[in-house]
Amino acid sequence: MFHAPNGLQRDRVPDASREPEPLPGRTATAEATPPAPPEPAAQEAPAAQVKRRDAYFDNAKYLAIVLVAVAHAWEPVMDGSRATRAAYMFVYTFHMPAFIIISGYFSRSFQARPDQLKRLVSGVVVPFFVFEAAYTLFKRWADDDPDYPFSLTDPLYLTWFLIALFVWRLSTPLWRSIKYPLAVALVIASLGSLTPGIGQDLDLQRILQFLPFFVLGLSMRPEHFQMLRRREVRLLALPVVAGAAVFTYWVAPDVRMGWFYRSTSAEELDAPWWAGPLMTFGLFGCALLLTAAFLAWVPRRRTWFTVLGAGTICGYLLHGFLVKSLDYLGLVAQYPWLAEPAGEIAVTLVTAAAVTLFCTPPVRRALRFATEPELSWAFRRDVTRLSGRAAASSSRTWR
């Protein structure tokens, strides 16, 4: 962190400042990659069920996934632009934490019942297998790397979140049982930042370092979100966001983005050991402030994009193909104007429009075979019946 480049380069962001990919054949890396988002949505529900969905959380999930996708799209075009790098850092501070907090909040009832395990397999494990294979094939073709290996322990790009969500949700009964769960999770995250060499194995670094946000979501109650919607909180959020934006612009050239990815230890970022716990607690506090400011301004009423909140799993898993095309196909090198202000704005708008399209009901229906398959054939009949009754009596919310 303390040896970041002194200047900004137009041609390429240093590897330490770019969200990385796993490298073939490595079991331990300096950095692995995210995001976002959130995180990622639920299977389309019947009409009677949709009425019970909370518009506030659907709005939050949609807005969060747009931030995830847009931040990912800035990565290939932000070289040489201090403002874009600052915006990237600002959004990365809270976009995945916000998504993970919401995921934890809606995991509070998870008790590892057979029907819940069935939905966990169909809604998390199956999408991981499908999209890990899809992203690997896409990299082989688009990046002209036909020998890039398949790996179930070294998640490629944003599929890490599905592994993390699987582990976090399975651990929910434990976190709901112990005293001071958030404090314990923060200690674990701090220890993760001191442990080099575990970054790519199931992206364990991210599982550990993002864990406090999931545990915080488990600990939250509806009244906490009601507090965020109060008028005074919304007004207070404005100077908080403004101050954070100014501070981020000031430090943008000198801070290594690896801290925000939570995919490496302090040692792997060439920082002293004590910087790991310090950054763990510091970034947790910053993420909490900005997440609160974000959630304070999320609309509470139904809007045109409320229905899209149920499709954020598709937006999350599909937008990576669009973003990676910029990198794999060398589009920024072919069209340098994309790294200029007008090009960055165009990339932002196209990405936001694309992820919006990916969250629509027709796309959700088309991808249901991969994101929410029925899998009745794979489970005992009593488990399938129990799962069906549970789905009919509760509104599913993504992750």
pLDDT on residue 62: 97
Alpha-carbon distance values, 124 to 114, 115, 161 (Å): 15, 14, 9
pLDDT on residue 46: 41
Judge contact between 128 and 153, C-beta under 8 A.
no
Tokens found for residue 334: 């072919």
What stretches of 288-359 adopt beta strand conformation (E)? none
Tokens found for residue 180: 């001071």
**pLDDT mean for each 10 residues of the chain (399 residues):** 36 44 40 40 41 88 97 93 95 96 96 93 96 96 94 91 97 96 97 86 93 97 94 96 97 93 93 96 97 96 96 96 94 93 96 98 96 88 66 46
pLDDT on residue 80: 85
From the list 137, 172, 164, the residue with the least C-alpha distance to 151 is 137
pLDDT on residue 82: 94
Tokens found for residue 341: 């202000």
Alpha-carbon distance values, 24 to 13, 263, 392 (Å): 22, 17, 44
Residue ranges covered by each domain of the chain: 15-393
pLDDT on residue 376: 86
What is the number of other CB atoms lying within 10 angstroms of the CB of residue 294?
21
